[in-house]
Each structure stands twice: as structure tokens, then as C-alpha cells.
């Protein structure tokens, strides 16, 4: 804005100077033309008075035929006195006598053309001025009637050639341009200084406001602008900014309070989810124990130990969550254990009663370091989601869980033939609190995604509507 103001003022100065110079030159040209016309009229009046005097004292009759005799010698005397050539013609334009004025090639002819005779005759004052140029000089030719002062009728035509003299005005123009150039240069320098000062003065207040706006922050204390200008608009802008700062501070306080309340709500939801998460495998373990318990089974003690171990692990998880919440700390820290992924996944599936859950592994042993409880949580959450994604009325239900080794990663896939995920929900599927189910808080996938990423793993999925969904978990394998 400062540059635009500066350039605008300089441009105005430049344009105004050019207009002044142009108008002045046109004025000089008009004055020069009027000056030469006045000189010609004065010269013409003087010569006519002299000619009328000769006519008054001549003994010859005042006729066109006698003009050469009347002005035989006098025409030279008059021409010398007034320093101008004189030509006299009859009323038909034929040359009668002349003071031997030098002929101008292509412009002065012995006789007057019919067009000029018509213009002289039709003129109010019976006078016509023609303009011609020769060898770079400009001439004015005055044509007027020579009158019989007794009978008041024309007896001939007088032509007076007059060379325009613009020397005086040319000198005036040169002097004017010199003075104007000096004044213009000084004015231009002063204009630059004034333009710089005014542009800085005008934009100083705006620059202060701009700098303060740039530093405005929602999370920090903002200072008000203490500025008093002589501009109503600037003062109004400063007042609006200060009001905005007050409103922004109030909004920041409300936002901080809302964020704190939101953080507590999120913590409560996460704690509730963390407590609810172990309850599902515990419930499934008890149901499986009730359904499969056989006192006569030779492995009854081993199975009882496995069930008890699973319940104890989930109880320990709930206890850790409660301890973490009571200490305002984070969720239970992840413990790295060297485990066989195949066994842990298989153990996680034992708690599910569904007959359509299938398990497959390309190897009996895939070793990695991960928290055993967290891995069980990942598998439990994915299989539970897959089971809930299959409608109850669907006849053929199928969930396939597989563990494979690919390069240096253990890859776990959970595939179902349920209703699938809409493409519009792809970007939000791991978003906390987002869920497509009628129940639940939508924290499960977000939590297990964080768990997997904490172990430098990845979780991805593919899905088609009414075809099913496949979740793929990739965990790095520990080199032993």
C-alpha cells in the first residue's frame, strides 16, 4: 500500500507537469498566431490608408483601367516605406501592377484564382487571408478590395504577402521551457520526498495494526493497540481490534475450560473402555469353561490352568487401569515380552464360542517382542468387530484369522464376510469416538492402532459393501 501511494503521487505530479507544459505550448502557439494576424491587419490598414491618400490626390479618374497609371511610381514608394511587397489586380484577378515582389515558387501566380476571388467577394469585410509555405517559411496573403472612396465601390484587389515572424515567441518558449524544466526538476525532487513522507505517515498506523495482527495468538496473551490517529477509519479499526482481543481472550478461556472438560471426558471414556475390554474375554472364557468343562477329561487340569491364567491376566489389566487412573497417569505401560505370536493368537481365539471362526498359520512359531496382554487385546477387538459386522440373519457366516511371516514382519489378518465398510467412512475408521455400530463408543480401533504403532507396526484394511472386510496387522519380528 505504501508503494502504491508513493507511485500514485509521483504519477500525479508527472502527469500534471506534462499537462502544464502542453497547455503552455498550445497557449504560446495561439498567441503567436494572433500576434501575426494583428501585425498583418495593422500593416494592411496602414497601406490602405496610404493607397487611399494616393487615390485622393491623383488627377486620373478612379477606374480599374487607370490603376497602373495612378500607382506607377507611388507603389514602389509605398512598398519601401512599409517594407512589404504590394500587388494590385483587377476585379477578375489579372495582375495590373506590382512592386516587383519576389515570386514564391508554386504559391504566387501572376493571376488570382477564381476560388480566392469568390471568397473575397463573399466575405463580410471583402477580405480573405490565405496561408502558404515555401522553403520552410510560412506566408500569409491578404486579399482585399481597393475602394473608390467617392462612389464607394471596388476598383481593384490588393494582395499583401506577409512572412510570419515567430522569433519572439520561439525565444519565449525556449525561456519558458528552461525555467519550467528547472522548476519541474525541483518540484519532482520535492514531490518524491513528500510522497515518501506521506506514504509512511499514512501507512504507519496500518503497519502497527498489521504487525499486531500477525502476532495475535489464541494460546498467548495478546496486547491491545494503544494508538490515536487523526483518521476516523484507523481509530475505528483499532477499536475493533481491541474489542476482538477482549472477545478472543474470553473465547480462549472458554475453549481452555472446554478442552479440560473434554480431556476429562475422553479419559473417562478411555478408562471405561479399558475396563470393559478385559470383561469381554473374561465373560467368553467363563462361558467356554462352562460349555467345554468335562470332569473326565484327562487334560482338565491343564485347561483349568489356561482358563485361570486368562482370567488373571484380564483382572491384572483392569487393576493396572484402575491404578493408572487413580494416579492420573497414562494407560498401563506396555511390557515387551518374547512371545510366539501363533500361540497367543490361537489362545485369544479360544475364548470365542462361534463355530464359524477359522484359524490358519503358515508356521508353528513366529517369535517377536510385544506385550502379551496387548496382543490379546488387538486380536479380541478385531475378531469381536468382525463378528458384529456379520448380520444375525445372514446364513453363511465366516471369520478367517491367519498368521504369516512376510520378510521381517509377522502379519495377522482378520477377514469376515459381513456387510463391509462404506467408502465414505474409510478415512474415519480409526478416528476416536467414530463408530458404525448402534452400541459402543468407537474407541476400540483407535486404541489398538496406537498400540500397534507403538511397536512400529501398521494396521490397514480393505472392504467392500456386502462382501466383507479384511484387517491386516503387521508387526516387526525380533531377530534372535
Which letter does DSSP use for residue 332 in this model? P
Q: How far apart are CA 447 and CA 432, in angstroms?
A: 8
Yes or no: say if 428 and 434 are a contact pair by the CB < 8 Å rule. Answer: yes
**Percent of the chain surpassing pLDDT 90:** 10
For residue 185, the model assigns a pLDDT of 80
- 218: which 3 cell numbers? 489464541
Q: How far apart are CA 29 and CA 255, in angstroms?
A: 77
For residue 439, the model assigns a pLDDT of 46
Helix or strand run (H / E) with residue 69: helix 67-70
Does position 147 have pLDDT exceeding 60, yes or no?
Answer: yes
Q: What is the pLDDT of residues 58-79, one digit of tens each?
A: 888 888 888 888 888 888 888 8
Q: What is the mean pLDDT of residues 276-282?
A: 73
Q: How far apart are CA 433 and CA 444, in angstroms?
A: 9
- 303: which 3 cell numbers? 485347561
Yes or no: say if 365 and 342 are a contact pair by the CB < 8 Å rule. Answer: yes
Q: Each residue of 436-463: b (16+ CB within 10 Å) or e?
A: eeeeebbbbbbbbbebbeebebebebeb
Does position 169 have pLDDT exceeding 80, yes or no?
Answer: no
Q: What is the mean pLDDT of residues 282-301?
A: 75
Q: What is the pLDDT of residues 9-62, one digit of tens each?
A: 788 878 887 888 788 778 777 776 777 677 777 778 888 888 888 888 888 888
Q: What is the mean pLDDT of the chain?
A: 78
CA distances (Å), origin 125, targets 2, 121, 122, 220, 478:
64, 9, 9, 92, 123
- 212: which 3 cell numbers? 499486531
- Closest residue by Cα to residue 283 from 303, 307, 316: 307
- Please enumerate in sequence order all residues whose Cβ is within 8 A of that of 180, keeping only pairs 6 or more positions apart, or say none: 20, 21, 24
- Closest residue by Cα to residue 319 from 399, 373, 261, 263: 373
Q: How far apart are CA 61 and CA 67, in angstroms?
A: 9
* Local confidence band at 204 (pLDDT 50, 70, 90 cut-offs): confident
For residue 127, the model assigns a pLDDT of 84
CA distances (Å), origin 13, targets 8, 175, 252, 450:
9, 22, 50, 68
* Local confidence band at 108 (pLDDT 50, 70, 90 cut-offs): very low
Where does 129-230 have alpha helices with state H? 167-215
Q: Please return the burial class of 174, using the count of CB atoms within 10 Å of its CB with bins 0-12, 13-18 and 19+.
A: exposed
Yes or no: say if 442 and 434 are a contact pair by the CB < 8 Å rule. Answer: yes
Q: How far apart are CA 165 and CA 32, in angstroms?
A: 9
Yes or no: say if 43 and 162 are a contact pair by the CB < 8 Å rule. Answer: yes
* Local confidence band at 137 (pLDDT 50, 70, 90 cut-offs): low
For residue 103, the model assigns a pLDDT of 45
- DSSP per-residue codes, 89-147: E-TTS-EEEE--PPP-TTT--SS--HHHHHHHHHSTTSEEEEEEEETTEEEEEEEEEEE
Does position 298 have pLDDT exceeding 50, yes or no?
Answer: yes
Please tell me which of 103-112, 309-318, 436-445 the model is most confident about, judged by mean pLDDT. 309-318
Amino acid at each position: 500500500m505504501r508503494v502504491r501511494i508513493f507511485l500514485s503521487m509521483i504519477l500525479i505530479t508527472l502527469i500534471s507537469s506534462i499537462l502544464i507544459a502542453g497547455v503552455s505550448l498550445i497557449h504560446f502557439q495561439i498567441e503567436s498566431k494572433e500576434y501575426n494576424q494583428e501585425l498583418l491587419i495593422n500593416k494592411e490598414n496602414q497601406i490602405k490608408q496610404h493607397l487611399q491618400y494616393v487615390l485622393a490626390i491623383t488627377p486620373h479618374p478612379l477606374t480599374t483601367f487607370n490603376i497602373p497609371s495612378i500607382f506607377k511610381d507611388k507603389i514602389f514608394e509605398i512598398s519601401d516605406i512599409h517594407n512589404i511587397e504590394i500587388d494590385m489586380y483587377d476585379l477578375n484577378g489579372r495582375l495590373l501592377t506590382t512592386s516587383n515582389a519576389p515570386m514564391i515558387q508554386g504559391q504566387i501566380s501572376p493571376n488570382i484564382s477564381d476560388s480566392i476571388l469568390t471568397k473575397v467577394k463573399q466575405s463580410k469585410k471583402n477580405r480573405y487571408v490565405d496561408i502558404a509555405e515555401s522553403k520552410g517559411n510560412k506566408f500569409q496573403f491578404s486579399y482585399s478590395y481597393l475602394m473608390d472612396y467617392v462612389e464607394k465601390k471596388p476598383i481593384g484587389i490588393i494582395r499583401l504577402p506577409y512572412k510570419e515572424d515567430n522569433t519572439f515567441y520561439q525565444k519565449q518558449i525556449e525561456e519558458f521551457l528552461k525555467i519550467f524544466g528547472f522548476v519541474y526538476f525541483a518540484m519532482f525532487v520535492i514531490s518524491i520526498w513528500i510522497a515518501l513522507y506521506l506514504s509512511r505517515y499514512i501507512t504507519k498506523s496500518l503497519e502497527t495494526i498489521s504487525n499486531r495482527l500477525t502476532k495475535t495468538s489464541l494460546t498467548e496473551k495478546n496486547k491491545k493497540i494503544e494508538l490515536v490517529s487523526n483518521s476516523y477509519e484507523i481509530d475505528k479499526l483499532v477499536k475493533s481490534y481491541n474489542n476482538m482481543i477482549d472477545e478472543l481472550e474470553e473465547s480462549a478461556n472458554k475453549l481452555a475450560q472446554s478442552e479440560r472438560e473434554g480431556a476429562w471426558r475422553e479419559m473417562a471414556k478411555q478408562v471405561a473402555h479399558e475396563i470393559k475390554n478385559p470383561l469381554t474375554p473374561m465373560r467368553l472364557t467363563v462361558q467356554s469353561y462352562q460349555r467345554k468343562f468335562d470332569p473326565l477329561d484327562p487334560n482338565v487340569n491343564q485347561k483349568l490352568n489356561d482358563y485361570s491364567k486368562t482370567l488373571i491376566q484380564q483382572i491384572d489389566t483392569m487393576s493396572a487401569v484402575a491404578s493408572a487412573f487413580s494416579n492420573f497417569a497414562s494407560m498401563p505401560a506396555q511390557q515387551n515380552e518374547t512371545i510366539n505370536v501363533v500361540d497367543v493368537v490361537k489362545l485369544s481365539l479360544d475364548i470365542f464360542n462361534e463355530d464359524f471362526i477359522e484359524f490358519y498359520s503358515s508356521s508353528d512359531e513366529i517369535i517377536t517382542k510385544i506385550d502379551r496382554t496387548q496382543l490379546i487385546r488387538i486380536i479380541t477387538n478385531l475378531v469381536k468387530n468382525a463378528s458384529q459386522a456379520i448380520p444375525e440373519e445372514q446364513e453363511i457366516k465366516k471369520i478367517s484369522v491367519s498368521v504369516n511371516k512376510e520378510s521381517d514382519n509377522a502379519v495377522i489378518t482378520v477377514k469376515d464376510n459381513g456387510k463391509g465398510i462404506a467408502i465414505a467412512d474409510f478415512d474415519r475408521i480409526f478416528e476416536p469416538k467414530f463408530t458404525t455400530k448402534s452400541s459402543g463408543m468407537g474407541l476400540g480401533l483407535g486404541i489398538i492402532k496406537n498400540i500397534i504403532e507403538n511397536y512400529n507396526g501398521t494396521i490397514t484394511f480393505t472392504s467392500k459393501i456386502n462382501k466383507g472386510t479384511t484387517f491386516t496387522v503387521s508387526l516387526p519380528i525380533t531377530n534372535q
